[in-house]
Amino acid sequence: MAKIQIQGATVNRLISDKGLAVSTSFTRRDGEPGTEKFTVWTDPTGYTVGDVINVVGNLSVRVDEFEGDNGIIHYAQVNVNNPKVEKVASEEMPF
């Protein structure tokens, strides 16, 4: 089983009582900004949209598709199973 480690991911959405939709930002080779999106399957209790977290867990990827304006779009849905999640301390916190 492959492991994945995600540092500094932002929580974008809480998935009912099942997990978190998170993303990270990076700069592509051509200088353009890019975003990676992940679904972390864990109890979302205690997390809010905008939290910054670190995640380590089992990686699974599934190829999926949807009908877009320009036809069928194929994409890889990246999931993290059995994760260990920790909140990153914000510089705005008073301690």
Dig out the tokens for 7 from the structure: 């540092």
Domain ranges of the chain: 3-87
Give 90's pLDDT tier (boundaries 50, 70, 90). low
How far apart (Å, rounded) are the C-alpha atoms in residues 21 and 34? 16
Q: What is the pTM of this model?
A: 0.83
Distance CA 89, CA 49 (A): 15
Q: What is the DSSP string of 7-20?
A: EEEEEEEEETTTEE
Averaged pLDDT, 70-86: 94
Q: Is the pLDDT of residue 71 over 70?
A: yes
26/40 Cα distance (integer angstroms): 19
CA-CA distance, 63 to 74, in Å (whole number)? 7
Q: What is the CATH number of domain 3-87?
A: 2.40.50.140
